[in-house]
Structure 1
Amino acid sequence: MNEQKLLFSLLPDNVCGITLNSSALMYPIKSISGVIGSGLHVDTRKYGCQFCELDNCYKKRIKKSFNHETQSQSE
């Protein structure tokens, strides 16, 4: 079972007007899901591009392209 289906199985049907189809796509399309933990023993970790080890990430490609364009314009 994928994580999206597992998460939705814990919620009431049509929660907040959001539904999940058989391929785990939420409707309305621009909906997002996630879990936020709170409490005394929550393990927090920093998140962001500077900590990511994924070499082929699209965000890194966009950032490199933007930095290259900005440097070219200032020269």
Structure 2
Amino acid sequence: MSQQSAADVRLRELLGGDPPEAVSALPEADRTALADLVADARRRQAQSLEESFDATLKHVPFPVRRIVKKVLLG
């Protein structure tokens, strides 16, 4: 098995599997930049979802917020 670069390992982790062949054919620097972009997009998406969830909970009456949060989040 060939040695994989840090960019390849990171892309595999971020994508949850092997990247497409076209991505694997990119130069190492481009794969590293792509991994950075994907990681940043995932971070921003998680932050946006959290902010949306918090904003939604503000519309739930205070006495039942804890119950609603527990039902939604488990």
Regarding TM over 0.5, the answer is no
- Higher percent of residues as strand: 1
- Higher percent of residues as helix: 2
For normalisation by structure 2, the TM-score amounts to 0.29
